[in-house]
Amino acid sequence: MDFTLVRDVIRVQSVRSRTLEPGYGYIRLAQFQERSDRDMQRALEKMSAEKGGLKGLVLDLRNNPGGLLTQAVRVSDMFLESGLIVYTEGRIEAQKQKYFAQKDGTWTDFPVVVLVNGGSASASEIVAGALQDHKRAVVLGTKTFGKGSVQTILPLDDNSALRLTTARYFTPNGRSIQATGIVPDINVDNASPQDGKAEAPKRPGLREENLPGHLLNPQPSSPNSPTEPVEKDKEKEKQIPSSGPTGDETIDNDTQLKRALDLLKSWDVFKQIVQKKAA
């Protein structure tokens, strides 16, 4: 059978946002596209203009495969006043680049929790790593994919091209993302709220380190670098009770999102206690 197929352009909405509870915002960044930073800026302005302002933000980068490096830098810059965001190193000088944050237009008045998982890759890992290294956000979820290499497209005479790996990404503290990924500050599996057990994965947990012929991480494991919690610690993490249901099924059925919201709310409570003591 012969079929005539017409290729179409599938447009993915990069940024979705909403208010979880009064004062607590949620931004889902599905992919780093050309206008992602502007869409995020509008979402932040809209939520901060609501009654009571913005007291905390959940930035959801789960299953975000990456996208434009420039957008990862600009999104990170929105939450950082200064300092290194990411840098690349290759075999030649031209492949060594550094990207820095600027103070203008920075959002620093509220805490941020970044959600990640095994589907968070490349540009997502750059943002999570930058905010984690600068202590600007708490990273919550499971270890990311580990795609920390840079590819260059070299056109050939026959109108084909060669895709060549030419450099590696490094976080501000000099951590290589390659085959290691970003290890969250708080490890939380997306467990079923009914029984507290982790859901059976719909597909195998495939990461960069599982791919045949993957580029190895040049850095030895450092005793000071964050590592995956051992099984006993994971069990303790699952046993920590979260607060009662919010009445919003999209929050209550998402363990990681619910834990992030609880963390932001407790953060605000502790800040008020500190302010009272100071007064």
Q: Catalogue the active-site residues.
A: 122, 133, 147
Q: Which three-class secondary structure string do you get for the chain? A: CCCCCCCCCCCCCCEEEEEEECCEEEEEECCECCCHHHHHHHHHHHHHCCCCCCCEEEEECCCCCCECHHHHHHHHHCCCCCCEEEEEEECCHHHCEEEECCCCCCCCCCCEEEEECCCCCCHHHHHHHHHHHCCCEEEEECCCCCCCEEEEEEECCCCCEEEEEEEEEECCCCCECCCCCCCCCEECCCECCCCCCECCCCCCCCCHHHCCCCCCCCCCCCCCCCCCCCHHHHHHHHHCCCCCCCCCHHHHCCHHHHHHHHHHHHHHHHHHHHHHHHC
Which residue is it, tokens 């719909």?
A: 202
Encoded tokens for 275: 């302010």
